[in-house]
Amino acid sequence: MPLTPLFDLIDVALAVKKVLDKLKSLDVPGTIRAFPDFVSAVDKLLALIPQTSIPRMLLSTIDVLLAVLNVLRLDFEAIGKVQVPIDTGNARAAALGSADLAATLMCSQSQLNARLVLLQARAQPLNRLLGVLNALSGIAGAPELPTLSLSGNAQACIDTIDSVTAALRTVRSVIPV
């Protein structure tokens, strides 16, 4: 919302006025009750200052990226689970000498490989986001993040996602807020 900073400034002004009014009237319990609103309003104002807004933005972006990586990992796990019956079927087709079963499984394998390649390609734009995060995390004093290079089978992709997720969690834990 474009007007949110303006409303946050108004909230701070109202909270300051409320605290000052309570102090003028020497209403100590009322002053104490007014402080939580004042602190909340000042916290909103601090979010507008670059020294505090950049780390908060980094945390929010990392949280979104972690959620996307979790979904991506689940997709690769699904591909891995489909691979198991195909491998079992291939072994069975070889044992039976069934060309028809082998051809059917080859078709299934081709579709699974196409899905794997598509999923790997769909994950590549995340590297641009990781690059932006690296630039911002340098400002916030956080360590550099690795890139997400997915290749190979589903398990190799899962391992890469797990290492990037661990790095993101590490960076998230050292960002000062």
- Please answer whether residues 18 and 38 qualify as being in contact, where contact means their C-beta atoms are separated by less than 8 angstroms: yes
93 plus 156 within the same structural domain: yes
Q: Give the DSSP per-residue string, 67-85.
A: HHHHHHHHHHHHHHHHHHH
- Please answer whether residues 14 and 42 qualify as being in contact, where contact means their C-beta atoms are separated by less than 8 angstroms: no
**pTM (2 decimals)?**
0.64
19 plus 95 within the same structural domain: no
Q: What's the N-to-C CA distance of the chain in angstroms? A: 22
37 plus 101 within the same structural domain: no
25 plus 63 within the same structural domain: no
- pLDDT, averaged per 10 consecutive residues of the chain (177 residues), comes to 66 76 76 78 70 73 91 92 89 89 89 88 85 75 76 86 90 78
Instruction: Give the number of other CB atoms < 10 A from CB of residue 149.
Output: 13
Task: Check residue 74 and give its pLDDT.
Answer: 94
40 plus 57 within the same structural domain: no
Task: Check residue 3 and give its pLDDT.
Answer: 61
Considering only CA atoms, give the Rg of the chain: 27
Instruction: Give the residue ranges of DSSP H helices in the chain.
Output: 4-24, 28-46, 50-96, 99-123, 126-140, 154-174
Which range of residues forms the domain containing residue 31? 4-46
d(CA 177, CA 174): 9
Q: Domain tally for the chain? A: 2
143 plus 105 within the same structural domain: yes
35 plus 87 within the same structural domain: no
63 plus 139 within the same structural domain: yes
Residues in Cβ contact with 128 at an 8 Å cutoff, skipping those fewer than 6 apart: none
- Please answer whether residues 160 and 149 qualify as being in contact, where contact means their C-beta atoms are separated by less than 8 angstroms: yes
Task: Check residue 43 and give its pLDDT.
Answer: 76
Token pair 């000062």 is found at 176
d(CA 31, CA 38): 10
14 plus 93 within the same structural domain: no
